Amino acid sequence: LDYSPSEIVVCPGPKDVVFKICVTMLNPKSRRNRLVTFAPTYESFENLPILLTGKPPIVLETDAHFLPDPNQLADLLNQDDTVALIVLNSPNNPTGAVYPDSLLRELAEIIGKHEQICILSDEVYRTIIYDGIDHVSIASFLPAQTLIVGGMSKEVSGTGLRLGFVAGPEAVMGAIANVEGNTSSCVNLPTQKGYAHFLRKDTDLRLRYQIRDALYSRRETLTNRFSKLVTDAVWERPAGAFYFFPDMSFYCGHRTPKGKPINTDEALALYLIESANVVTVPGSKFQRPGHLRFSYAVGLETINLGIERMAEALDQLSA
């Protein structure tokens, strides 16, 4: 994919990019001002539509592999003429799912029949994909309606380096640039120069693939230990990003050693941090109750210790 400078807008972080896309696309006075997202979904895609329009997002469920159902989307778009923006997030946060080429082609064909709708394609984890799978953007099939969101911090393993960008049709980029210029103005200069230097040095993606390979080793350690020690969870091996999203519903309905009931994923997450010092995010925060999100962007020693402590804590629960 090739974009000219007039088709790219740089902002202080991908989350800031998402906000400015939504400000541009979700006009509360327009008939088309609804955002569609697929559960599990990232919190910004839930909160921003409410903030900007007073209306919640339209949330569509995914299948057991966390992949969207094209037929469900087609039915919605044929019946609802208020949709302005559709969010696709691959590699996915929180699940690590990667949308296959065939699915993206099918989604592009469906959305392409509705020229008034844009796609917000969140591809922040585009360089972190495992098992020989290639990254594919839906912009390859529907460039005139796709806004690609990317960023620096995930690619260079530099949390806190706030530089994000969006690439898409020039007319839409001009509107987003107006929002950017009248709010943030620009990304701080040291971060800009640092990322520019990195990109010049890493034209073959070698450095970014080294980061991916390190994360692959951590994924393998996490899932191998998890399968041996946490046997009552149900899970998919993540194909991308650095998140693991097992279904922990089995443990909901149990009690702690002190007799306190664990009725929800939030209660389970709280129990794990209090009893095992293991931090997770409840799946209900992503519209998928019963799951927990783990990040494995930490050292192997921390992963091993965390799984062991968590397994011990879970073994102490009683039905």
The DSSP annotation for 260-307 comes to -EE-SHHHHHHHHHHHH----EEGGGGT-TTBEEEE--S-HHHHHHHH
Looking at residue 36, its pLDDT comes to 98
pLDDT (tens digit per residue) in 4-27: 999 999 999 999 999 999 999 999
Largest CA distance in the chain: 62
Which amino acid, 15?
K
Looking at residue 161, its pLDDT comes to 87
CATH of the domain spanning 207-315, picked from 3.60.15.10, 3.40.50.620, 3.90.1150.10, 1.10.3430.10: 3.90.1150.10
Alpha helices in the chain (DSSP H): 14-25, 43-53, 70-79, 101-111, 153-156, 170-181, 189-201, 206-229, 265-276, 300-315
Percent of the chain with pLDDT over 70: 100
pLDDT (tens digit per residue) in 38-61: 999 999 999 999 999 999 999 999
CATH architecture observed for domain 7-195: 3-Layer(aba) Sandwich (3.40)
Number of Cβ atoms within 10 Å of the Cβ of 4: 9
For residue 226, pLDDT over 90 is answered with: yes
Looking at residue 160, its pLDDT comes to 85
pLDDT (tens digit per residue) in 157-178: 888 889 999 999 999 999 999 9
Looking at residue 210, its pLDDT comes to 96
Structure tokens, 318: 């009683």
Looking at residue 224, its pLDDT comes to 97
> pLDDT confidence of 140, banded at 50, 70, 90?
very high
> pLDDT confidence of 193, banded at 50, 70, 90?
very high
**Mean of pLDDT values over 174-196:** 95
What length does the chain have? 319
User: How far apart are the C-alpha atoms of 72 and 70, rounded to whole Å?
Assistant: 5
pTM equals 0.96
SS3 44: helix
User: How far apart are the C-alpha atoms of 176 and 174, rounded to whole Å?
Assistant: 5
**Cβ pair 62, 39 in contact under 8 A:** yes
User: How far apart are the C-alpha atoms of 87 and 250, rounded to whole Å?
Assistant: 31
The secondary structure element, H or E, covering residue 58 is strand 58-61
User: How far apart are the C-alpha atoms of 7 and 203, rounded to whole Å?
Assistant: 20
> pLDDT confidence of 139, banded at 50, 70, 90?
very high
**Mean of pLDDT values over 271-289:** 97
Backbone angles phi, psi at 218, to 5 degrees: -70, -40
**Mean of pLDDT values over 288-297:** 97
Residue from 179, 198, 99 nearest 139 by CA: 99
User: How far apart are the C-alpha atoms of 242 and 87, rounded to whole Å?
Assistant: 20
Query: Domains of the chain: which residue ranges?
Result: 7-195, 207-315
For residue 73, pLDDT over 90 is answered with: yes
For residue 215, pLDDT over 90 is answered with: yes
Question: Bridge-partner residues for 171, per DSSP?
Answer: none
